[in-house]
């Protein structure tokens, strides 16, 4: 194994992956597997399915690595987006993922607490920003957004979980997302 | 069909993966031809994507990494280099370059512009494991070179979310203090910050201006330029 993969930038690992370089691919998987499996699990709430989804995510990323554009998204966000889509595809096919309130309550709790300090620093900064924005929302909006994004819930499931009318669920999600967009724009202006 | 613009509710359902066929395809088709709706949809979708990094990390079962490599056909000693079936090339393979000298873990230091000063790696040397061609550098860093031609680190332009940043990794600074300065093509300079570089080296990430080219200069406390990298 060559020595520099540990410190290689995320983008460098994607480039290595695109070139089919085995050590880069291994380093890439190890660096991102916790994030990918985390989102796959939060959407599917099924470890076996989440592992299948996660493997599929890395294969999709491998195929798409040559077209990754660092100007559009960080590697972490790019990969998490692939993961969320793949996990949602998997649960929508099944159509029977129960909206277990216990697992989802834990997800809401875990999503707005401080990120794991052992995360790679750049990832932690991205996570901290996302957490900070979620915390800036009204609590009921933050809950709805977490459920709809990381929880992979539909608006109908959010309505059911929160015991609110469908229209209210949609409004909370939409208003929350719009507020997040404003906060993202503000961050960009400050930099 | 496509002259009727979808409602906000429909766009939200689409972004939440909750539009069954054939509606999904119709909506997607509309978005590909209607920039106004595309913009509305992207606004929703961007907010979702940039929220995902808050998701909790969970490690998969041990052996997951090997299983993935096996699925890529990269697990055996004979399959060390394998390009994905549909990979569209990409990536820069440069000539063998000088690897930055870096002796131990990079250290994050405090201070900095916009509070973004963090420790990260800046370059990767990809030794070719095939028998044929010589070692290639997957080039992600321009060497920071002193007057004497010694490479003492790297500088790289990168992105942190939408923010363009310059990543400067200095190897062995012998505990001295340097000012990091950017020189733009028009001769203007801007100081990004000042740090002490420990013996173990350190890395900084700083917001970078948009310019076709720029030179990173590390200036020592006597005002002399210690090393430069042209980006
Ligand atoms: Zn339209």
Q: What are phi and psi of B170, to 5 degrees?
A: -105, 135
The residue extents of the domains of chain B are: 8-87+98-113, 142-230
Q: What are phi and psi of A70, to 5 degrees?
A: -65, -15
* Residue B205 and residue A120 in contact, taking contact as beta carbons nearer than 8 Å: no
Neighbours of ion ligand 1 (CB under 5 A): B 5, 34, 37
Please choose, from the candidates B106, B122, B108, B120, the residue with its C-alpha nearest in 3D space to the C-alpha of residue B200. B106
Q: Please indicate if any CB of chain A lies within 8 Å of the CB of B64.
A: yes
In chain B the first and final C-alpha atoms are separated, in Å, by 49
Report the C-alpha gap between B55 and A108 in whole angstroms: 9
- Which residues numbered 100-139 in B keep a CB inside 8 Å of some CB on A? 102, 106, 108, 114, 116, 118-127, 129, 138
Q: pTM score, two decimals?
A: 0.65
Q: Please indicate if any CB of chain B lies within 8 Å of the CB of A181.
A: yes
In chain A the domains, ranked by start, together with CATH numbers, are 1-96 (1.10.1740.10), 99-191 (1.10.10.10)
The two tokens of residue A89 are 């595809």
ipTM metric: 0.93
* Residue B82 and residue A66 in contact, taking contact as beta carbons nearer than 8 Å: no
Name the CATH superfamily housing domain B142-230. Answer: Immunoglobulins (2.60.40.10)
SS3 per-residue string spanning A52-71: HHHHHHHHHHHHHHHHCCCC
SS3 A5: helix
Digits of tens for pLDDT over chain A (191 positions)?
333 566 678 999 999 999 989 999 999 999 999 999 999 999 999 999 999 999 999 999 999 999 999 888 999 999 999 999 999 999 887 655 566 788 889 999 998 888 877 788 889 999 999 999 999 999 999 999 999 999 999 999 999 999 999 999 999 999 999 999 999 999 888 76
Alpha helices in chain B (DSSP H): 8-15, 23-33, 35-49, 64-71
Report the C-alpha gap between A108 and B51 in whole angstroms: 12
pLDDT at B94 (0 to 100): 28
Could you tell me which chain A residue has the CA closest to the CA of B106? A7
Q: How far is CA B20 from the centre of its chain?
A: 36
Report the C-alpha gap between B17 and B13 in whole angstroms: 6
């Amino acid at each position: 194994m060559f020595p520099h993969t540990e410190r290689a930038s995320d983008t460098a690992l994607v480039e290595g992956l695109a070139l089919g370089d085995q050590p880069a691919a291994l380093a890439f998987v190890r660096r991102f597997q916790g994030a990918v499996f985390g989102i796959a699990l939060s959407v599917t709430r099924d470890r076996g399915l989440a592992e299948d989804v996660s493997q599929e995510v890395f294969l999709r990323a491998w195929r798409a690595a040559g077209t990754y554009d660092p100007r559009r998204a960080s590697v972490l966000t790019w990969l998490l987006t692939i993961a969320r889509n793949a996990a949602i595809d998997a649960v929508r096919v099944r159509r029977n993922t129960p909206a277990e309130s216990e697992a989802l309550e834990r997800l809401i709790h875990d999503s707005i607490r401080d990120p794991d300090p052992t995360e790679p620093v750049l990832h932690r900064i991205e996570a901290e920003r996302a957490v900070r924005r979620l915390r800036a929302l009204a609590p009921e909006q933050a809950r709805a957004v977490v459920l709809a994004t990381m929880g992979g819930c539909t608006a109908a499931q959010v309505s059911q979980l929160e015991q609110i009318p469908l229209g209210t669920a949609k409004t909370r999600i939409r208003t929350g997302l719009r507020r997040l967009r404003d906060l993202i724009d503000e961050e960009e202006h400050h930099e | 069909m496509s002259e009727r613009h979808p409602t906000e509710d429909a766009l939200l359902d689409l972004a939440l993966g909750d539009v069954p066929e054939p509606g999904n395809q119709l909506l997607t088709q509309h978005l590909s031809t209607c920039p106004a709706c595309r913009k509305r949809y992207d606004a929703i979708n961007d907010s979702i994507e940039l929220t995902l990094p808050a998701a909790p990390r969970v490690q998969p079962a041990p052996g997951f990494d090997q299983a993935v490599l096996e699925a890529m056909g990269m697990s055996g000693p004979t399959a060390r280099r394998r390009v994905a079936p549909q990979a569209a090339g990409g990536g820069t393979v440069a000539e063998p370059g000088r690897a930055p000298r870096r002796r131990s873990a990079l250290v994050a230091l405090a201070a900095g512009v916009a509070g973004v000063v963090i420790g990260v790696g800046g370059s990767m040397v990809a030794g070719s494991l095939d028998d044929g061609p010589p070692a290639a550098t997957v080039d992600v860093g321009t060497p920071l070179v002193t007057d004497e031609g010694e490479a003492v680190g790297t500088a790289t332009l990168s992105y942190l979310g939408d923010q363009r940043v310059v990543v400067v990794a200095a190897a062995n600074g012998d505990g001295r203090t340097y000012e990091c300065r950017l020189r733009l093509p028009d001769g203007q300079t801007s100081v990004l910050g000042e740090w002490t570089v420990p013996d173990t080296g350190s890395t900084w990430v700083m917001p970078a201006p948009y310019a076709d080219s720029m030179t990173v200069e590390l200036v020592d406390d006597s005002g002399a330029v210690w090393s430069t990298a042209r980006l």
